[in-house]
Amino acid sequence: MITEEIKDFLNLQKLGYVATVSSDGKPNISPKGTIIGWTNNTLAFADIRSPDTMRNLKSNPDVEINVIDPLLRKGYLFEGKAKIISEGTLYLEILDHYRDNGIKSPINSIVLVDVSNVSEVISPLYDMGISEDDIKLKWQKHFANL
């Protein structure tokens, strides 16, 4: 399900969004810069500053994660169930991975997401016959002019 291609994509993209729902049914979306493909069916992300996300996951483990390449306007949507870990061998192994990859912020816990579905997200611009190169160039120019 989470192929090597998807894992490489996640390693390249440094920002994704995690969607949860509060105990009173309110949606919450939170940016995360630590989303990784840990196994072929598990994503992980670090709880660095995520009090609302953690509170929501404790009452409802259902989660969606969206990671998009901002230049190509393509990416993935992951659906699954989350589990929060803050000790043990797996926690330490993932924590070491983050430290080895330059994450210096304190990590309170790690969220593992058992992924039940992965779907591609592709901009409607592609439906209009616009090439990937043209879309990338458009957004490179846009960001260069900020």
Q: Which CATH architecture has domain 4-144?
A: Roll (2.30)
Cα(123)–Cα(126) distance, rounded to whole angstroms?
A: 6
pLDDT in tens, 4-40: 999 999 999 989 999 999 999 999 999 999 999 999 9
Average pLDDT score over residue span 95-107: 95
Q: Are strands 74-85 and 62-69 parallel, antiparallel or unpaired?
A: antiparallel
Q: What is the residue extent of each domain of the chain? A: 4-144
Provide the β-strand partners of residue 47. 109
